[in-house]
Structure 1
Amino acid sequence: MITPVLLCGGSGTRLWPLSRKSYPKQFAQLVGDKTLFQASAERLRGPEFAAPLVLTASDFRFIVTEQLAAIGIDPGAIVIEPEGRNTAPAVLAAALWLEKSDPDGMMLVAPSDHVVPDADAFRAAVAEGEKAARDGDLVTFGIKPGRPETGYGYLELDGDPGDFTPRAIPLKRFVEKPDIATADKMLASGNFLWNSGVFLFSVRAILDAFRQHCSDLIAPVQAAIDKGQPDLGFLRLDPAAWAGAEDISIDYAVMERAGNLTVIPYASGWSDLGGWDAVWRESGPDDDGVVAHGSATAIDCRDSLLRSEDSRMEIVGIGLQNVVAVAMPDAVLVADASRTQDVKTAVAALKAKGAKQAEAFPLDHRPWGWFESLVIGDRFQVKRIHVHPGAALSLQSHHHRSEHWIVVEGTARITVDDEVKLITENQSVYIPLGAVHRMENPGKVPMVLIEVQTGSYLGEDDIIRYEDVYSRT
């Protein structure tokens, strides 16, 4: 069986304001009714695949388990990276972890933020690459280019792709992201493919390649695994050892240096959703080239994307052409469609001026659910808190604030010092400053309450935890 290795620790900025550091695009429903991460996991399930191995950041670990549970997938292991060190250390960590149980096993490395509309065709391409991988080759998957794209790296084939039927073809070289003139020439030549960043190889073959081409990476990554700490079913890699690993991509570390490379052409649809222009293409524009998503209305518009991510936020476009407009509860992007790659520049500008919208998502996701701030004043804050069925917040107290909780959906079990009681819709409870308290959802449906905080300091760090089922004490 092939073990899918899902990489989902990234925090891309090119799809701001929907994708942010605290909640990046792989966990969003950008295309279809599932998140990109869920779609990636589903694409790699079946009798030929083992349970997935997931590499992610600490902040996303509970989002990963929640989203996999929602589609009925139980991961084989979830490895937490203390910090992003690019793809080479992540792939090496996955290989060293899998070596413990099956040194001759197969691993398929895939980013978790791609769109692949035809999952069956993709699995068929994987099957075509499996023989070459079992023979010791490092197999990558190249996408038939549909335009002279400057945002992707390319693969030059040592042979003719013909009709791009998936089959093993020797790979001549990797090519960096080109300028538009070079991209035009490569598209015209017919023997260049987009580099998908998806790889298939045996555990033994990739470890041999690291030993031969990037041996300095092995010691720190192995130490990070050996010194890693189990945490509620996760493996936390050792931070000190991991920090000693070079920040380098798998392409630079191994693939561009290896001689045993094979590429499988793939022409059945693919996108890495690297910008809002890609989202527009993958969303199926109408006859006028318009995509209106969510609470969006387009009047006499052409070749534009209008997208609202909040039912309370109506966005209306009139007479627009080649415009991207994306509305969130706390931020709105309006851009010329040809300038969508400059969104990352806007994020950098927001960070420079200290705007929290640069990185913080409106919903603050926690292992028990999420909350959003509705109103913030000098000495008060109003939040909406959503608690999953069976979940519980930590037993905690605050130095600087008191709280008033009003249940608006479901039932809450409330602890305040020595008193424990159930409160239901339209009932409330007061939490005095300094009281030890906790809220739980004992029911089978989500519980929602409105929290009113008052006090001299309302920061999230004003929490003393005494007990926590998620080991955050």
Structure 2
Amino acid sequence: MTKITPVLMAGGSGTRLWPVSRKSFPKQFAPLVGDRTLFQASALRLAGPDFADPVVMTNADFRFIVAEQLDQAGIQPGAIVIEPSGRNTAPAILVAALMVASKDPEGLLLVAPSDHVIPDAAAFARAVRQGVEPAAEGRIVTFGITPDRPETGYGYLELAGQGDGPQPLARFVEKPDTATAAQMLAQGNFLWNAGIFVFKAGVMIDAFRAHAPEYLSPVLAALDEAKDDIGFLRLAKGPWDSLPDQSVDYAVMEKADNLTVVRFSERWSDLGGWDAVWREALLEAPSDNGVVTDAHSTAIDCHDVLLRSDSEDLEVVGIGLTDVMVVATADAVLVADKSRAQDVRHAVSALKAKGRKQATAFPRDHRPWGWFETLALADRFQVKRIVVKPGAALSLQSHVHRSEHWIVVSGTAKVTVDDKVTLVTENQSIYVPLGAVHRMENPGKVPMVLIEVQTGSYLGEDDIIRYEDVYARSSAD
């Protein structure tokens, strides 16, 4: 069998899993279920002898996270494609199809979101194999999940045929109300729409040409004018930003007449809310009273609750709670009725309206060289903890509004300040005057940790002038 090219969609923001999932570090990159992140689990599920190296569609903010997590999982990417802006799934899928078609128009692609939970990878592989034959014959194959409840948070697929094998698709159904969902569940020929597809590259391009021709020229231009960015493929911004913001379902699938559905009846979840996380946890570790806790939470006389703390310094305790979700991070706490899980996204909108940074950003900010977090912030000073990975280096830079003191607490830092290079070891410090051109590197084999004290009239992250950067970032990146 010709190897299938997996296409992982990894650009979403996952607002319904706030506060653990935020715009700066969304749910696909977090270990919400098990030890691996959802993105890593998805990549591993689509690895093996049947699959080529994956193509990952993401944005500039996540490109280094994608590369690092693939490396940790032992997976070599075929390409990491940077979308200049969010335009939904339609143009991203067309990009992947064009990339594969440039080498083999008959090449097969499997497009999948990177934030789904599918514990039985072998069963999923069997379902994929079921879809390969109709895809090779020119069908666009989509995967439907056998529903086990009248779910109103998913779209549905209505089957035109009967049986367990691949069936023609009759129609797509938008997210229903409870009564309609119950009726469809009883009928037995409706499946949840998983948003997973298998198709030949040329077939998908032809589908766009027939049903959404307005995408072809801008996507081709964005791909033709794309630039290599230290191993990433950065699509051209001008033509890309002119594209409509539409899902592939709306742009192409709902109009196509060559769709086939493969039924998948094993466990599956898109983790579309904290109620889904609660259900998955109970399936992994059943509880008589429906209580799900983690290492930093305690439940006393509770029933059907989720208690979770992602901060080892913050203990969550619930007493006498029923049907409640409590999710805490270092800087935010969510308390909600479990039946309102789909409304968590409204909390993000409310926080944005208040101008609260918790709406989109974490205290810990990930960078390609490591990460930092703010320990204290007040007028004219800020204290940070900075962790630099072995062999990594920050950019050569200067600041217009602040000076910095660096105190190494673990490891060794190689510090450049103007023309002077100094090795700074544990319990030593160095001063970086305002305006000085400076850089910090970790020449060692273990992470280097330092405390940074900033003083000045403005302490924002955009007060950076970059002169050299091994990660090819701009001052605003």
TM > 0.5 between the two? yes
- How far apart, CA to CA, are the structure 2 residues paired with 1:41 and 1:346? 31
Which residue number in structure 2 is paired with residue 182 of structure 1? 180
Partner SS for 1:80: strand
Aligned partners of 1:42, 1:410: CA distance in 2, in Å? 33
Distance in 2 of aligned mates of 1:293 and 1:308: 7
Q: What residue in structure 1 maps to residue 202 of structure 2?
A: 204
Is the contact made by 1:294 and 1:310 (CA closer than 8 Å) also made in structure 2?
Answer: no
Q: What residue is the counterpart of 1:349 in the other structure?
A: 350
Measured in 1, the distance between the counterparts of 2:446 and 2:133 equals 47
Partners of 1:464 and 1:366 in 2: CA distance? 17
Residue 338 (structure 1) shift: 0.7
Letter in 1 for 2:436: A
CA contact (8 A) 1:294 1:309 kept: no
Give the Å deviation of 1:17: 0.5
Query: 1:145 — aligned with what?
Result: 147
Following superposition of structure 1 onto structure 2, how do residues 45-194 of structure 1 map, counting pairs within 5 Å?
45-161=47-163, 165=164, 167-194=165-192
Q: Report the counterpart of residue 384 of structure 1 in structure 2.
A: 385
C-alpha contact 1:395 1:468 (8 A) present in aligned 2: yes
SS in 2 for 1:68: helix
- How many angstroms apart in 1 are the aligned matches of 2:399 and 2:254? 54
Amino acid in structure 2 at the alignment position of 1:18: V
**Amino acid aligned to 1:70:** Q
User: Is the aligned partner of 1:426 residue 2:424?
Assistant: no
1:10 maps to: 12
Identity over aligned residues, as a percent?
Answer: 69
Q: In structure 2, what is the equivalent of residue 33 of structure 1?
A: 35
- Displacement, 1:370? 1.0
> CA–CA distance in 2 between the matches of 1:299 and 1:26?
31
> What residue number does 2:229 align with?
231
Contact 1:303–1:322 under 8 Å retained in 2: yes
Secondary structure at the counterpart of residue 255 of structure 2: coil
Distance (whole Å) between structure 2 residues aligned to residue 120 and residue 408 of structure 1: 46
Partner of 1:372: 373
Deviations 1:270-322 (A, max 9, x none): 00000000000011252210110231111111100000001111111111111
Q: Residue 398 of structure 1: CA displacement?
A: 1.1
Alpha-carbon distance in 2 for matches of 1:314, 1:409: 27
Q: Give 3-state SS (helix, strand or coil) of 1:21's partner.
A: coil
- TM-superposed CA distance for 1:99, in Å, is 1.4
CA distance in 2, matches of 1:144, 1:32: 23
Q: 2:218 aligns with which of 215, 220, 230?
A: 220
Q: How does 1:381-460 map to 2 (within 5 A)?
A: 381-460=382-461
| Structure 2 CA distance for aligned equivalents of residues 202 and 380 of structure 1 | 57
Counterpart mapping for 1:272-421 below 5 A: 272-284=270-282, 285-421=286-422
Letter in 2 for 1:7: M
In structure 2, distance between residues paired with 1:375 and 1:5: 41
Quick one: which amino acid aligns to residue 206 of structure 1?
Answer: M
2:238 corresponds to which residue? Answer: 240
The Cα of 1:416 is off from its aligned counterpart by 1.3
Q: Please tell me whether the aligned partners of residues 7 and 55 of structure 1 are also in contact (alpha carbons under 8 angstroms).
A: yes
Aligned pairs, number: 469
Q: Partner amino acid for 1:297? A: T
Q: Alignment partner of 2:17: what SS?
A: coil
1:300 alignment partner AA: D
- Per-residue Cα deviation, 1:138-196 (whole angstroms, up to 9, x for no partner): 001000101000110000111224xxx5x311111111111111101000001100000
Superposed CA offset, 1:417-453 (max 9, x none):
1221222222211111121111111122211111111
Match of 2:469 in 1: 468
Q: 1:313·1:329 contact (CA, 8 Å) conserved in 2?
A: yes
Distance 2:295 2:107 in 1: 44
Distance 2:54 2:203 in 1: 19
How far off is 1:256 after superposition? Answer: 1.0
Please list the CA deviations of residues 193-248 of structure 1 after superposition, one character each: whole Å capped at 9, or x if unmatched.
00000000010111111111111111111111111111111111111100111111
Q: d(CA) in 2 for partners of 1:102 and 1:78?
A: 19
CA distance in 1, matches of 2:343, 2:5: 36
Name the CA distance, whole Å, in 1 between partners of 2:389 and 2:281. 31
Aligned mates of 1:332, 1:69 — CA distance in 2: 32
Counterpart of 2:256? 258
- How far the C-alpha of 1:349 sits from its partner, in A, is 0.7
Distance in 1 of aligned mates of 2:374 and 2:360 = 16
Of 277-286 and 263-272, the range deviating more from structure 2: 277-286
Q: Which moved more, 1:53-62 or 1:431-440?
A: 431-440
CA contact (8 A) 1:295 1:308 kept: yes
List, as ranges, runs of 4+ consecutive aligned residues in structure 1 with deviation greater than 3 Å: none
- Using structure 1 for the length normalisation, give the TM-score: 0.98
Provide the aligned C-alpha RMSD in A: 1.0
**TM score, norm. by length of structure 2:** 0.97
CA–CA distance in 2 between the matches of 1:109 and 1:427? Answer: 51
Please give the secondary structure, in 2, of the residue aligned with 1:205.
helix
